[in-house]
Structures are given as structure tokens and as C-alpha cells.
Structure 1
Amino acid sequence: MVAFSPAAFADFLTTNDDTAIVMLNLLRFDPDGGRERHLEYLKMAEPILDRFGAKILFRGDGLPVLTVGDTQGWDAVLLVQYPNRTAFKAMVDDPEYQAAFQVGKSALRDIILQPLKQSANLM
């Protein structure tokens, strides 16, 4: 299911907004044409991302998982950088993005959106 957690989204938006964030997108496609619909979504979304100062840093297909345990692989991964949280919210609320989002949503069987911030300490 593709839906924001209202509490997590609200918490995300109330935190300091002065730095760029990177959104990790772990994607599992609908087996019935999901990958193709996702490519259609990307064509629609890329000019919108640009308008909000966002850019795709990495786009790739998942390979077999190398760790043991209760893990399941992902079909694809996207890393998208936004100038700040306000830009992300403005994009999500944008009517043109909402239309593209419906196409993207129809492509997915499952998704994880994990916001990331730059760490001063690498380890």
C-alpha cells in the first residue's frame, strides 16, 4: 500500500528545515506492468522535481539480497535529493505532482520512503 503515515509525515515536517534531505525509495513493483508504469511516472515526475529544486541522485534495479534473516529484496531503488523539507511538502501538495503520483502509486505493490539527512560523523 502506498500511503504516508500522517504522524510520521507531520513529525518530519516540524523538524529543522535548513538542510537538504535525501529520500530513499525502496520499490516493489506490481507484477502486472508495474515497472512500465513506474517509468511513465518518472517521465511525468522529473520536470516537477526540477521545479521544486529536487533531483534524482541514483536510480537502480535491486539485485539479490546478501544478508540472512527475515529479508526480502526490492525491485528498484531511488535516491532523490530535496533542498529542504518544505520543498518536499510543496511538491507532494502540487496538483501536477498529485496526477503523476496516481500513476506511480498504481505501479507499486509496496514501497518504503525513508528520509535521510547528512551525518557529520560517517561512523
Structure 2
Amino acid sequence: MADPTYIDPDREAWEIFKSLPKGERIQMLNLVKLKPLAEYPQGHPDHGRGKTGLEAYRAYGRTTAHIFQRLGGRQVWAGKPQVTVTGPRSEDWDLAFIAEYPNAEAFIAMVRDPEYRDLVAHRTAGTADSRLVRMEPIDEPGEGFGE
């Protein structure tokens, strides 16, 4: 049996997210596994055009950037995963980045924005699996791991 995949939050996780403090700065760790070929739904302008998952995901980033920035969001770190040293080999990722929002309300406003909701089709078309982890930033981490 194949491992489950995750593209969007489930209801329970979304309710937990909304129950956490809303007025504080948050960071969202994104881990993304891309599809070799994007799968747009029938009727979408990019359906059947042969775009790769990476092309679709980049279209998502480009077309939603103005919404992300308008709400005070910024990307604070990005990297290209090379190998999972500790963890399941099935969890290999193509993209990893941390997006920061001035508060949880900004993230909620982004995902509820009608234009964003239309444009997220690019993300859905290109993503095979993903993880999205809300984090509270630590402004002055200690010198040792976990401090």
C-alpha cells in the first residue's frame, strides 16, 4: 500500500491552526514533492499543455506573489533538499522553504482571498505531496541544537 499524500490541510489541522494565537508573527515550513507532469483539471487554461510539476508550482509562486506580499508575507529561507538523512526514504522533497507572515491572520486572509483560491490550482496541479508546518519563530536561538 502506498504512503498517503498530502496536498491541502485537513479540517482538524485547520481548526488547530486557527485556535493558536493569531496576532504573533509565524513562519511556515514548506516541503514539496513535485509531479513529473502537472495535472490541471479539464477547463483550466493549462490543461493538456504538458507543463511539468515545477513549471506549475513556479506559476503558483509567480501569480500569487502580489497577494503574499500585500499581506506582509516574505520568504525567509529556501533550499533544495538533497537527501533525507534521517527519516523515511519515501519522503524526498524537491523544494523546501520557509515563508513568514506578520501574523496568522495574514495567512488565513491569503488562503481565503478569492483570487488566491483560483490561482492555487497551479499548486494543486504540480504538487505530488507536501508538508506545511506552522512554527513560532525564535528570535535569538541558543548556541546548541534545540536551544
TM-score by length of structure 2 reads 0.76
Q: Distance in 2 between the 1:99 and 1:105 partners? A: 11
Does the CA contact (< 8 Å) of 2:27 and 2:101 recur in 1? yes
More helix by share: 1
Aligned length: 122
Matched, 1:78 2:83: no
SS at match of 2:98: strand
Structure 1: state its 5+ residue gaps: none
Following superposition, the deviation at residue 19 of structure 1 comes to: 1.2
SS at match of 1:74: coil
In structure 2, the partner of 1:61 is 80
In structure 2, the partner of 1:27 is 32
Following superposition, the deviation at residue 70 of structure 1 comes to: 2.5
In structure 1, the partner of 2:11 is 6
Larger gyration radius, structure 1 or structure 2: 2
Structure 2: state its 5+ residue gaps: 1-5, 38-51
State which drifts further: 78-87 or 2-11. 2-11
Query: What is the root-mean-square deviation in Å for CA atoms of aligned residues?
Result: 1.6
Deviations 1:3-29 (A, max 9, x none): 211111112112222211000110000
TM-score by length of structure 1 reads 0.90
Following superposition, the deviation at residue 60 of structure 1 comes to: 2.5
Does the CA contact (< 8 Å) of 2:23 and 2:105 recur in 1? no
- Pick from 77, 85, 105: which aligns with 2:124? 105
Deviations 1:33-70 (A, max 9, x none): 10111111110111110111111112222112233x52
In structure 1, the partner of 2:48 is none
